[in-house]
A and B are shown apart, each in its own frame.
Chain A
Amino acid sequence: MTASTTATGVAFDAQGQASDEQRRNLAMQALVRDLAATGAAQLESCVRCGQCANACHFYVTTGDPKYTPIRKLRPLEQAYHRHVGPFAPLFRLFGIVPRVTAAELEEWEQLLFDSCTMCGRCTLACPMGIDIADLVKQSRHAMFAAGLIPDRLELMDRTTKLWGSPATPSEDFADIIREAGTQFGVAMKIDEPKADYLITVAPAELTEHTKALADAAKVLNALGVKWTYHSDGFEASNIGYLNGDIALQETMTRKLIDAAIKIGAHTLVLPECGHAYGAARWEAGRWYGDKLPVRVIHMTEFLDEAVTSGRIKLKKVGQSASFHDPCQLGRRGGVIKAPRNILAALGVEVKELADAGTVGWCCGGGGGVVSNKRADPLRYRVFEMKRRQVEDAGADRFVTACGQCRITLNLGASKYKWDRKAESLLELVADNLIA
């Protein structure tokens, strides 16, 4: 690992000993391999109207045009036009589209990892419907192949390969579950041979948010269903999905789905984590075909079903709350009503942020950005915007349904000595269950 700067002064990390030419070639192979019809049609359609810029929190909070979403796709566009597109031979012959260089990839590391949370707000704003967030994800595959990702993310990648989770070795998982049960006084189920519900977790729940482990258990116990945590498949925040490491994405996906199949679960419940939803709900079938043998749902959907069907009863909390929609759950996942149903069942009046639901702003830490120290200054700018929106909404509480969003927002809060905290929706439900 080396931390370096490009000739233009942009910091980048590089992994491995490959030469510039080798890195470039590895990236190109990955870029070209990934380009299927959808991405190609979208790369062909851009009219350079610039409307995506105003949708991106990194452009809006810095005013620096280099953060314009479509610009983040430059290496991908070049690779496409030189090697895949219908006029590739012409473009190569006349040098109309230049080669992607290693220096360019090094410079783009920051644009693809530090200043993109894959939140998809640009996708929503683009009049041509170009799914820039998805194409950034594709670009990350190439960056990973080239050994050009932020060291912090690469460290999480290696740890996950070694441990099965970026937070803890798999062998320790059962102990963490039991300890959380003891600490919070909740009966836990771990490694049950058969269960209908497999409950999975996010890394923060194994470290600073362990109450979430007990909160989920409390709700499941109240429902009286057969459920379990399982050491074979527990880690749902798919680091491979964030880092562009497709092989790791597959490994982590298979662990979850195979564990669910092994115990005969009909439902796999994802934790309060946005990207876990993106990876497992929409992409798991990539390795299993269209029909997954198990239903994959987010904790928020699970709670909504339990509350709406009347199978659990909640105390009325009263008060008002603003809800921060995690991008992968709301804008890119279609789960917008569910958290609001739950808040309504808690008797909480929802005071919406100025931009909420589909058009809500990202917390600034998604897509691995919160784990990438180098991106802190950018992330804090986004936090300031979010804080203003929360203050303007004037609600008593500030709730979300993603542990990573909570960490990001609470890191911002402590930096700016803001006396508000982003709360977990699951926790709010668990704390107000009528037994």
Chain B
Amino acid sequence: MELLQFARGPALTVALAVFAFGALWRLLGVLLLERRGVYSAPRPGAPSIFASALAGIIGKMWPHATFLKQSLFPVLNGYLFHLGLAISVLLFAPHILFIKSISGLSWPALPSNLVYGIAVVTAVSLVAALVHRLTDPVLRLISRADDYVSWMLTFLPVVSGIAAVSHIGARYETLLAVHILTVCALLVWFPFGKLMHAFLFVVSRGETGIRFKHRGADI
């Protein structure tokens, strides 16, 4: 079997299955744990549980000014690569075509050159995040293997994608196959490591929103 066929076929199917089952398993494993009740009367005027959770999810998108001053780089760089990844994955014409071929869904793309530029910026931003992790004493101390594995498996699809689009280093088909395989690796790892924060942030922030809005406190 050609490498590209393998990547597009069995590799991707297995990776998607591991991703879907693994992510569902982890989410259910967390959500089905016993919930503790709320032990107190709410502060008068406290919003509903739903509104409180939403306040947590949205409120935590941006730090309080005093924290922003101290964490300007991680906050801004974090936004940069998250947005860059989202645009590169979702608004690149070949990706949309691929998604359409398996799901029937499609939406307008951004010009490919623009997405290419954004992907390059994303790669640089990811490198900056890694350098920060390796040089900041706090981050060095608290980082786990997961942080480096997750970084690598996020970075590889970005650079392999850039290489494939710019035909650098090998035949296009080979580069595309490598790109897809790096995406497969990412999907397989996704449920097991910190990348799951893409889903779990909703639960985590939501719970804190509920706890603190109940008390009439800020988030």
Interface residues of chain A, those whose CB is within 8 Å of chain B, are: 35-38, 40-42, 44-51, 53-55, 59, 65-66, 68, 70-71, 84-87, 123-131, 134, 281-286, 290-292, 295-296, 330-335, 355, 357-359
**Contact between B33 and A71 (Cβ–Cβ < 8 Å)?**
no
Q: A50-B136, A127-B63, A281-B40 are in contact. Are A42 and B204 (CB under 8 A)?
A: yes
Query: Which stretch from B120-128, B157-165, B178-186, B193-201 is at the chain A interface?
Result: B193-201
Which residues from 174 to 219 on chain B have a C-beta closer than 8 Å to any C-beta of chain A? 192, 194, 196-197, 200-201, 203-209, 211-212, 215-219
Proximity string of chain B (31-58) to chain A, C-beta cutoff 8 Å, 1 when within and 0 when not = 1111111111101000000000000100
Q: Which of B5-13, B86-94, B109-117, B141-149 contacts A (4 or more CB under 8 A)?
A: B141-149
Query: 15 A-B Cβ contacts within 8 A?
Result: A38-B211, A44-B30, A45-B196, A50-B142, A51-B63, A84-B33, A86-B29, A124-B219, A283-B39, A284-B39, A286-B37, A290-B38, A296-B40, A331-B217, A334-B43
A residues in contact with B208, CB < 8 Å? 42, 123, 129-131
**Chain B residues with CB under 8 A of A129:** 56, 60, 201, 204-209, 219
Smallest Cβ-Cβ distance to A288: which chain B residue: B39
Q: Which B residues lie at the A interface, using CB under 8 A?
A: 25-26, 28-41, 43, 56, 60-61, 63-64, 66-67, 70-71, 74-75, 78, 133, 136-144, 147, 192, 194, 196-197, 200-201, 203-209, 211-212, 215-219
Contact B60 A286 (CB under 8 A): no
Query: A86-B30, A359-B64 are contacts. A41–B207 as well, Cβ < 8 Å?
Result: yes
What residues on A are CB-neighbors of B143 within 8 Å?
A: 48
Selected from B28, B138, B192, the residue in CB contact (under 8 A) with A59 is B138
Whether A85 pairs with B204 at a CB distance below 8 angstroms is: no
- What is the chain B residue whose CB lies nearest that of A125? B67
Partner of B36, one of A38, A128, A281: A38
Say whether B138 contacts A282, CB under 8 Å.
no
Taking the nearest CB of chain B, how far is it from the CB of A17, in angstroms?
33
Pairwise interchain contact B28-A86, C-beta atoms closer than 8 A: yes
Q: How far is it, in angstroms, between the C-alpha of A126 and the C-alpha of B200 when the chains are bound? A: 14
Determine whether the beta carbon of A284 is less than 8 Å from that of B40.
yes
Among B133, B141, B142, B194, find the residue whose CB has the most chain A CB atoms closer than 10 A: B142
* A37 near B33: Cβ-Cβ < 8 Å: yes
In the bound assembly, the distance between CA atoms of A181 and B33 in angstroms comes to 52
CB of B204 within 8 A of CB of A45, answer yes
Pairwise interchain contact B64-A128, C-beta atoms closer than 8 A = no
Select one of B25, B61, B139 contacting A86, CB under 8 A: B25
